[in-house]
Structure 1
Amino acid sequence: MNPSEPPGIVPIPEAARPKPPQAPVRWTLLILLWLAFFLNQADRQIFSVVLPLIRTELGLTDAELGLIASALVWTYGLLVPVAGFIGDRFSRRNIIGFCLLFWSGATLFTGLCSSVVQFVLLRGVGTGGGEAFYAPSANAMLGENYRHNRSFVLSIHQSAVYFGIILSGLIAGYIGERYGWRHAFYLFGGLGIVLAAVFFRLIPEDVPAAGPASRQESTTQIVATARAIIRKPTVILLTLGFGCMVFVNVGYLTWMPSFLVDKFGLSLTQAGFSALFYHHAGAFLGVLSGGKLADHFARVNPRNRLVIQALGLLLGAPFIYWISMSQSQAMTYAALFGFGIFRGWYDSNIVASLYEVVAPTIRSSAYGLMLACAFLIGASAPYLLGVLKPTLGLTIGLASLSGVYVVGGLLIGAGAIWFFEADKEHSL
């Protein structure tokens, strides 16, 4: 056993792993999971797109709207490590199907909300809690069923993030303007419920990756894994840097459509599309170029993956400032695109950098804990920006996010310079 591996965690024998299904089912699985991930991201984003309509109709304050957005991220951050642990012990097909059904139902009923408490419970706890159980099981299921072209398949699956965020802005804005904000939630929630039924119908139930563990065994494994992770300063610094990135990203996604409506007088459809399209178009190109750069320079020294991440945050910071301070739509969109390029550099190495310093047998657990910490750090961004909006305004609030990017870049850079060599794993 590798010395850095915690006791009590035994690799799953090859013979005990679920066998890949036949080709038609394999590609059906990818298509259905792509659609599920699309709705996962879309359901998370539509609130921000129709936020001005909700504020006008219900008379909610900016702080209350920010609290609603933060509640989803807090819930997600708390539950995602639990979801990763459960995903190794129960049928992943059932976990994905039921969580899709749960968060879609919560999204649909969000259209009936009329108070802050209802929004927090349905959108924050319901949608956020259901979505937390999707990614760990979905990525593991794809990895098991597409072993010979795993990277390609996971890249296709990841592309649903960009399409989900961009198209939800366009569709939700259009529906909100013409039929009311409630119908946007009805549409996306209803589609998810239908997709859950199709998923259960077409995808056969799989065998759990590991047998169920007793409560004492589970607790021992979790504690041992956490200890192995926190002993490495590089992992801690990567997690704090990830938290800075999530803080900026969640704050931007929540308030950017409203910012464009207020500053340039755009319609909801225009603002929802523009706030998301230019940034994520840049991010798509940034992911591709950042991944290529990191793979090239990592052959010389694996620490260069962290260097690319740090540069992504440091070079992206000025563009975040220009987004807020630009006086024309064209300059704002150019800044959004540049911000996206360097956000993509960072995104391309989130998992790869972590895997350089974490033993193979605890990578899923480490990533789950990293996600939890980062999302709990970043969850407060929508609420804080909402609190600052009436006094400082969104222009200053969004511009200040550039400083958070700088802090994140410096933290990851410190890990690369001072701790990486001692923390890196050799048995990869």
Structure 2
Amino acid sequence: MTTTATTTAPTRRRFGVLAADFMILGLNYADRAAFGIAGPLIIAEFGFSNAAFGWLASIFALAYSPFGFIGGWLADRFGPRNVMGWAVIAWSAFTALTAAGVGFVSLLIIRFLFGAGEGPQATVTAKLMHNWFPKRELGTALGIANAATPLGGAIATPVVVGIMHATEGNWRIPFLVFGALGVLAAVGWFAVVRDSPEEHPKVNTAELQAIRGGQTDASVEEQADAPGFWRCVGKPAVWATAIAYFGYAWILWTFVSWFPNYLVQERGIDLDELAISGAIPWVGGCIGLIVGGVATDWLVRRVGDSAAPRRWMVIVCLTATALLFALVSTLTSTFAAVLVMTVVVFLLYLTGAQYWIIVGEAVPASRYGAVSGAVQMFATSASIFAPLVTGYLADSAWGWGGVFVVAGAITIIGPVLLLFAGRR
């Protein structure tokens, strides 16, 4: 590492790393949201039922979920920089290939491979932020980084709709555009990011001390004495957090995969209205992630406890999210439905950065990538089942009302368990 001995003010390279991660996560969700936004046109072109489209939405997650674990494990071994950079290239290639889909089977294969490419992003982000930020800033850093995900959805909605309008309803062009942007983003990522501040040539001693808090990395002996992987996963704080995160993912993926279709099918809005109505809840989510990270960091400093404020943020906000989500279909106006959904996504994303930090408090750093990957793999299995179950429920006698009630019931289990089992 190169340092400047005469410079006393700390450099701020960690914020450049945060900015690069923010850009990558925004693109990640823009690519992901594009399929749901284009969904009404894809369904119309191929004559898919809601159940068939649900399979296309779920097959993405069948690969996404295990590759969350694989990505965390790889980040422990090879570093987050390489894992994320190559993941961006992979998912961008399959984003572009979505335009080559000619029917159910081809789209099924492309979506599966796309999910594998996108899988590592969350666990790699968590690992990278833990490497680069001190604990007192970690909630804020993770909140800002993950705020890019709903922002990506918010930006993607009008952009995808606008491109489809400009190309007379050609849903394939947005996927080609986003795929090309991904390759450019990967080049920027490799230029800016390093695995840790110790490896960055422009991080000075003052910034390194600010990040590490005057402490050195754990010794070889301490890492050797760290609990094994299964013992870490078996800790109540870890598995209770995983179940709560599963509920979070169920509502998120129901929203990502189906909310545009719900607005078109059930509320009767057109493509122009979708550009606005579909984007507004994402803005609420972006604000929620930033506020959640800043607020919990403030509470941690205030009460001197790094775990309790984050745990209670999940318990309170996820409970409120479940209850409000269950009520969406009972609202009589589209405006009210979009407004309540915006509140739902805001509350949901208030908890978004907390799961990773709760797990990080419970396990040693040398196990963090693999354990957080296991938590993500379990939690994001909801992204396999939620879009699929939603499609079948929407086609059944339960209808869209059943979709929202079932999602709320599943989600409320997590905060109840975390209330009791999540205490350290």
TM-score (norm 1): 0.80
User: What whole-Å deviation, never above 9, does each CA across 1:228-284 have from its counterpart, x for those lacking one?
Assistant: 124323322221121122112111211111111123322234325423423541562
Question: How many Å apart are 1:302 and its aligned residue?
Answer: 4.0
Alignment of 1:105-144 (within 5 A): 105-124=93-112, 126-141=113-128, 143-144=130-131
Distance 2:156 2:325 in 1: 22
Question: How many Å apart are 1:383 and its aligned residue?
Answer: 0.6
User: What whole-Å deviation, never above 9, does each CA across 1:53-111 have from its counterpart, x for those lacking one?
Assistant: 00000112211211111111221111121111212322543333222111101100101
Q: In the alignment, is residue 73 of structure 1 matched against residue 76 of structure 2?
A: no
Q: In the alignment, is residue 162 of structure 1 matched against residue 162 of structure 2?
A: no
Q: Give the equivalent residue in structure 1 for 2:209.
A: none
Counterparts in 2 of 1:398 and 1:199: CA distance versus 1, 3 Å: same
Contact in 2 for aligned 1:29/1:203 (Cα 8 Å): yes
Task: Figure out how many residues of one structure are paired with residues of the other and give that number.
Answer: 388
Counterparts in 2 of 1:243 and 1:342: CA distance versus 1, 3 Å: same
Q: Give the equivalent residue in structure 2 for 1:102.
A: 90
Counterparts in 2 of 1:300 and 1:232: CA distance versus 1, 3 Å: closer
Question: How many Å apart are 1:380 and its aligned residue?
Answer: 0.6
Letter in 2 for 1:371: Q
Q: In the alignment, is residue 367 of structure 1 matched against residue 372 of structure 2?
A: yes
Alignment of 1:27-66 (within 5 A): 29-66=17-54
Q: Give the equivalent residue in structure 2 for 1:377.
A: 382
Contact in 2 for aligned 1:37/1:160 (Cα 8 Å): yes
Counterparts in 2 of 1:194 and 1:56: CA distance versus 1, 3 Å: same
1:192 aligns with one of 159, 182, 197: 182
Q: In the alignment, is residue 413 of structure 1 matched against residue 411 of structure 2?
A: no
Question: How many Å apart are 1:323 and its aligned residue?
Answer: 1.8
Distance 1:378 1:96 in 2: 21
Contact in 1 for aligned 2:147/2:290 (Cα 8 Å): no
Taking CA–CA contacts closer than 8 Å with sequence separation of 6 or more, which of the two structures ends up with the larger relative contact order? 2
Q: Give the equivalent residue in structure 2 for 1:386.
A: 391
2:268 aligns with one of 242, 265, 269: 265
Contact in 2 for aligned 1:170/1:270 (Cα 8 Å): no
Q: In the alignment, is residue 319 of structure 1 matched against residue 319 of structure 2?
A: no
Question: How many Å apart are 1:413 and its aligned residue?
Answer: 1.8
Counterparts in 2 of 1:318 and 1:168: CA distance versus 1, 3 Å: same
Structure 1: runs of 5 or more not aligned: 1-17, 211-220
Alignment of 1:175-324 (within 5 A): 175-179=163-167, 180-200=170-190, 202-203=191-192, 225-281=228-284, 284-285=287-288, 288=291, 292=295, 295=300, 299=304, 302-324=307-329
Q: CA RMSD in A?
A: 3.3
Q: Give the equivalent residue in structure 2 for 1:336.
A: 341
Contact in 1 for aligned 2:68/2:119 (Cα 8 Å): yes
Distance 1:46 1:133 in 2: 19
Letter in 2 for 1:127: F
Letter in 1 for 2:118: E
Question: How many Å apart are 1:183 and its aligned residue?
Answer: 0.8
Identify which range, 294-303 or 324-333, moves more after superposition. Answer: 294-303
Question: How many Å apart are 1:204 and its aligned residue?
Answer: 7.6
Contact in 2 for aligned 1:68/1:123 (Cα 8 Å): yes
Q: In the alignment, is residue 357 of structure 1 matched against residue 345 of structure 2?
A: no
Q: Give the equivalent residue in structure 1 for 2:405.
A: 399
